[in-house]
Amino acid sequence: MVNILQFLSDFIFLFPLFMSFIWIIGALIFYWKEERNITTVPELDHFPMFSILVPAHNEKEQIVNTLEQLMDLDYPNYEVIAIDDCSTDGTDLLMNELTEKHERIRAVYLRSNKGKAAAMNAGSAATKGEYILTLDSDTLLDSKALKWIAWHFNKFPRVGAVTGNPRVLNRTTLLAKIQTGEYSTIVGLIKRAQRILGKVLTVSGVIAAFRKQALEDVNFWDTHTITDDIDITWKLERHFWDVRYEPRALVWILVPESIEGLWRQRLRWAQGGIEVLVKNIDIWSDWRQRRLWPVYIEYVISTLWAYCFWLVIALWMIQGAINVYEPIIFLAPAPPLWAGSLLAMVCLMMFTVSLAMESRYDKTLLKNLVWIIWYPFIYWLISATTIVVAVPKVLLRKKGYKGHGTWQSPDRGLHLEE
């Protein structure tokens, strides 16, 4: 029993330490091979058509900026399809005005709220392009992004999807500043490392491009999952399509600036991840899927880590409340002694490496290093809690559930910087 309790205590701190080293080394290899000497936009010998899908539900405040920004892309051959998923705030009227103003924009209107995946399926039916780019309705796409993405599709026929690099636009609160560092240190770093290790866990829902042939091969998006991005990634990879990360395909996004908004977002992400684990549990029966096994195992261990995290905290509180100090002393839920010092040093190293990589795309990032020191405490607490809540939500759901992953307008932040 003592050995088990000691293992739990060590596991809480050593697993993040181990994964941090894996992410740092993998990201550095990716940077050396794929980014270091490539700064100019690639020359394309042809420009296949892109269809840009922008699904929206009650996005009156953001939709005009997003669609207007798409009119100035540095790419000659694309169309924009805005999809209104039964908005009630006038989003559909704004879309209609923009279709009359710009020839590139067409609109699809849904009569009932079916969710983002259903909206993208409906929009896909109206596309003319060989490639489909999906974009959240509160984002601003960089003008060069399509060229960076098209290079992968043109050169590698087995590339089924390319995900881009989200950059945080609103940075006026502590929570937003922390997420600014998070998207660089965690999202960017992990995706780089996963590309080197073999498979990407998920494309970014805010910006992902797909070969239309690949989407047809997997019957497009599943409308019964809570998150469309991780589900479509696994569907493509299980059908042996390559999924890539392109850090130079930038998109500027709005992040939640309230605890409630962040909680809703991360709970949705956690539930989507657990759904994918359950849905793909048969992955072990096919040797051809072996390159996905490490990604699956890492996610399972991360889920177990969340439960161990809260179990150790509970044992520490019980031990302190009843003054029991044997057979093992649980320390406070903060990094202990040498392990804590080492973990803090490695976290700082990870943050510095990733921010240095990303600073070539955003010159102001390094000044956010002072805020990112709070990231492990906030991220661990929220992530561990959302996973603990998400697991029973998925596992206890009625068998054969066929509901739609409908959406509500998320927290778009409090303020914008110039």
pLDDT digits (tens, 9 = 90+) for 371-393: 666 666 666 778 888 999 999 98
Higher pLDDT among residues 398 and 110, named by residue: 110
CA distances from 350 to 83, 290, 376, 379, 407 (A): 39, 28, 12, 15, 34
Minimal CA–CA distance to 138: which of 81, 58, 75? 58
pLDDT in tens, 183-215: 877 788 889 999 998 889 999 989 999 999 999
Q: Is 405 inside a domain boundary? A: no
Q: Is 409 inside a domain boundary? A: no
Position 256 scores a pLDDT of 86
Q: Taking a C-beta distance cutoff of 8 angstroms, is the pair 138, 169 a contact? A: no
How many Å apart are CA 84 and CA 136, to the nearest integer? 12
Position 405 scores a pLDDT of 57
Residue 348 neighbours by CB under 8 Å, 6+ apart: 373
- Residue 367 phi/psi, 5-degree rounding, is -70, -10
Q: Is 106 inside a domain boundary? A: no
Label residue 418 by pLDDT band (50, 70, 90): very low
Residue 40 neighbours by CB under 8 Å, 6+ apart: none
Minimal CA–CA distance to 373: which of 181, 160, 128, 162? 181
Percentage above 70 pLDDT, the chain: 85
Question: What is the torsional sign of CA 78, 359, 165, 244?
Answer: positive
Give the structural domain span for 278: 1-48+130-395
pLDDT in tens, 235-269: 999 999 999 999 999 999 988 888 888 888 889 99
Position 415 scores a pLDDT of 46
Mean pLDDT of 58-77: 93
Higher pLDDT among residues 318 and 204, named by residue: 204
Number of domains making up the chain: 1
Q: Which residue has the tokens 């060229």?
A: 147
Q: Is 117 inside a domain boundary? A: no
Label residue 149 by pLDDT band (50, 70, 90): very high
Higher pLDDT among residues 348 and 15, named by residue: 15
Position 374 scores a pLDDT of 63
pTM of the shown model: 0.89
How many Å apart are CA 174 and CA 172, to the nearest integer? 7
pLDDT in tens, 336-351: 555 666 777 777 788 8
Position 416 scores a pLDDT of 47
Position 413 scores a pLDDT of 56
Strand, coil or helix: 267: helix
Beta strands in 111-206 (DSSP E): 131-135, 140-141, 159-168
CA atoms within 13 A on the CB side of 301: 14
In this predicted structure, the answer to whether residue 41 has a pLDDT above a threshold of 70 is yes
Q: Is 114 inside a domain boundary? A: no
In this predicted structure, the answer to whether residue 82 has a pLDDT above a threshold of 70 is yes
Instruction: Tokens for 163, please give them.
Output: 């995900």
Higher pLDDT among residues 14 and 412, named by residue: 14
Amino acid symbol at 341? S
Rounded mean pLDDT of the chain? 85
- Total count of residues recorded for the chain: 418
Q: Is 53 inside a domain boundary? A: no
Q: Is 123 inside a domain boundary? A: no
Q: Is 240 inside a domain boundary? A: yes
In this predicted structure, the answer to whether residue 42 has a pLDDT above a threshold of 70 is yes
Mean pLDDT of 318-327: 62
Position 120 scores a pLDDT of 95
Strand order in the sheet with 140-141: 105-110, 78-85, 50-56, 131-135, 207-211, 159-168, 242-253, 140-141
Mean pLDDT of 144-162: 95
